[in-house]
Amino acid sequence: PGWKDRDGEACEDYEEAQYCTPSGELGAGWDSGWGTFDDFRTKAGAADKVCCACGGGKQCEDMPEWKDADGWTCKSYVEQEWCTPNGQTGTGWLPGWGSLVGFAPD
């Protein structure tokens, strides 16, 4: 249970649909008629402030209880350099593994 926008879409949805870019800009999948990220913000904030994949990585913190679909923790991802602070694949991530989204827990 992480952040969701006012329509119920999660950070993973934003990344997968390319609603945003890692630098916090509107992505190719974002319809300009929707407005801005702020139009979908919740009390926790908007996607560009809270989602690592949307440039919010500066505020990302380890969630000790979080595990990916294979049981790996945030700490493992950092130690193995599988991801970067802005939500991109890191130097330890092998291309054959696909995207980080594919390892998101159900």
Per-residue pLDDT of the chain (106 residues; tens, 9 = 90+): 478 999 999 988 999 999 998 888 999 999 999 999 999 999 888 998 888 888 875 545 566 678 888 999 887 887 888 887 667 788 899 989 988 888 887 6
Rounded Cα–Cα distance for residues 34 and 46 (Å): 14
3-state secondary structure of 26: strand
Contact predicate 40/47, CB 8 Å: yes
* pTM, full prediction: 0.56
User: How deeply is 31 buried, as exposed, middle or buried, from its count of CB atoms within 10 A (0-12, 13-18, 19+)?
Assistant: exposed
Query: Phi then psi for 63, rounded to 5 degrees?
Result: -110, 100
As beta bridge partners, residue 26 has 20
What integer pLDDT is reported at residue 41 of this predicted model? Answer: 93
